Amino acid sequence: DDAGLVVSKSTLSLGEADGTDTYTVQLATVPIGDVTVDATSSDTGVAIVRPASLSFTKDNWNSGQTVTITGVRDDIANEGGQRTVTIIHPASGGGFDNLAATVSVTVTDDDAALVVSETGISLAEAVGIDTYTMKLA
């Protein structure tokens, strides 16, 4: 059997305001020694990952270990209303060197943007009346 990592979910969606989700990571085969699998967010300003490291042995290689992802609140209305990060799981040791798994995380923004229907208004001085709308997006 080929060495590899198994993640229970390849994509997650969560809210920015402390939204959380979890998945598990385990090894695909019995290692020849101890294996460390790190867990790193491609942007910790969007989502953080806990724990930062998982340890596998010949005894627990096929027991899924839980990884928790939490959205980070930023008080900025992000264009498109969502940001995506990648959680990277590189492995080392036990015959698993240079192997990695990834999980894509979409974080939905909780901040509203102000949308104005007009970018400029020109009015005649004597009878100048015009209208525009403003709304939260």
**Is the predicted pLDDT of residue 64 greater than 80, yes or no?**
yes
Cα 52 to chain centroid, rounded: 14
Task: Give the separation between CA 67 and CA 44, rounded to whole angstroms.
Answer: 15
Average pLDDT across the chain, whole number? 86
**Is the predicted pLDDT of residue 91 greater than 90, yes or no?**
yes
Q: Which of 49-53, 86-90, 112-116 has the lowest mean pLDDT?
A: 112-116
Q: How far is CA 32 from CA 18, 38, 55, 58, 60, in A?
A: 39, 18, 14, 7, 13
| pLDDT bracket for residue 62 (50, 70, 90) | very high
**Is the predicted pLDDT of residue 37 greater than 60, yes or no?**
yes
Largest CA distance in the chain: 86
Q: Is there a contact between 93 and 31 (Cβ–Cβ < 8 Å)?
A: yes
pTM: 0.77
